[in-house]
Amino acid sequence: MPLLEIRDLHVAFPKGKKTEVEALRGVNLTLEKGERLGVVGESGAGKSMLAFAILNLIADPGRVSQGSITFHGENLLDLSERDIRSIRGNRISMIFQDPMVTLNPVLSIGTQMIETLKAHRRISDKEARKLCIEKLREVAIPSAESRLEAYPHELSGGLRQRVVIAIALLTDPELIIADEPTTALDVTIQAEIMALILKLCREKDVALLLITHDLGVVAEVTQRLMIMYAGLCVETGQTRGIIDAPQHPYTYGLLKALPQKVGRGARLYQIPGSMPPITALPSGCAYHPRCDRATDVCRSQIPPLENGRACFHPLNVPEAT
């Protein structure tokens, strides 16, 4: 049984009085124990919506309109708010984009860490403190003991995100959902934080769902990849395989548009246009207006996700043997 299994997930938001628009239009995903999966897409593709849905955090008036999210064989969508709380922040931890927003500015680091622990464990203050220091050491925060008294504003952006990671690890989760964990940070700090997340996931055999727009980051950290476009998964498979031989024209375009893929000074490959908003999706394949391989069938039918890609005219198709 996989650790996490998502089947045909739809998330809808009301538009006007009677109609709804879908931010997720039927997403499937499986994650095994200890596996690292990258979810890549541009803003509005629905990747954060996916994370929110797993944690039952979709804000009203949005709702999960269809599908199932199974964690250890239990459908998270059927759980009461109380039961989901025993999973959220405990067996499934989160790391969000901006550590200045996720940490409470008026509470010391120690107070916030102990609070998290006590919400999920029966533990004495003394033991909780000991455990917090241990976790701060694990994320390589210098002079961990004295940092418990510090407030978030006294730490640099990189150290703050390390604290967030330490909090995420406190309850020994089986799955960490990291939503753009390094987008707000400088490049050198990004490298430090991603190297740390990678090391911890490997050592503790924790599964990782890494949401990002950066193909370089997923190439460094994840084993499997899922490319999202306009609320659907358009390509999925082994990270290496997709990066070396993308099959969906969108993935191909994203990779080819990277400056590191062409020679110095050469013209960059560009995908024309931009992603449609969910309120104005074209018919058929949502990517067809930007696609140079599109034909009539792409304009009328949504391509099913088969053999790891949702495309009628894929590239780099391995020859049948």
Which residues of the chain form contacts with other proteins (CB under 8 A)? 42-43, 140-142, 156, 158-159, 162, 186-192, 194-196, 198-199, 213-217, 219-221, 240, 243, 253-255, 257-262, 264-272, 274-275
- When the beta carbons of 128 and 144 are compared against other proteins, the nearer one is 144
Which residues, in sequence order, are bridge partners of residue 92?
88, 175
> How crowded is the C-beta side of 197, counted as CA atoms within 13 Å?
36
- When the beta carbons of 171 and 239 are compared against other proteins, the nearer one is 239
Min dist CB 294 to other proteins, Å, is 16
Min dist CB 242 to other proteins, Å, is 11
- When the beta carbons of 124 and 279 are compared against other proteins, the nearer one is 279
Q: What is the separation of C-alpha 10 from the centre of its chain, rounded to a whole number of angstroms?
A: 17
- When the beta carbons of 96 and 229 are compared against other proteins, the nearer one is 229
- When the beta carbons of 148 and 189 are compared against other proteins, the nearer one is 189
Min dist CB 237 to other proteins, Å, is 15
- When the beta carbons of 17 and 264 are compared against other proteins, the nearer one is 264
**Complete edge-to-edge strand list for the sheet that includes strand 74-75:** 19-31, 4-15, 63-71, 74-75
Min dist CB 220 to other proteins, Å, is 4
Please give the Cα distance from 177 to 212 (Å, whole number): 11
Min dist CB 233 to other proteins, Å, is 17
Long-range contacts of 116-125 (CB under 8 A, 24+ apart): 116/89, 116/167, 116/170, 116/171, 117/170, 117/171, 119/89, 119/90, 120/86, 120/89, 120/90, 120/171, 121/171
Q: What share of the chain is helix, strand, coil (3-state, %, to 5)?
A: 40, 20, 40
- When the beta carbons of 70 and 161 are compared against other proteins, the nearer one is 161
Min dist CB 44 to other proteins, Å, is 9
Which residues, in sequence order, are bridge partners of residue 68?
7
Please give the Cα distance from 114 to 132 (Å, whole number): 7
Amino acid identity, position 218: V
Antiparallel, parallel or unpaired: β 74-75 and 63-71: antiparallel
Structure tokens at 205: 């055999």
Min dist CB 155 to other proteins, Å, is 10
Q: What is the separation of C-alpha 138 from the centre of its chain, rounded to a whole number of angstroms?
A: 23
Give yes or no for a contact between 209 and 218, defined as CB atoms under 8 angstroms apart.
no
- When the beta carbons of 194 and 294 are compared against other proteins, the nearer one is 194
Min dist CB 147 to other proteins, Å, is 12
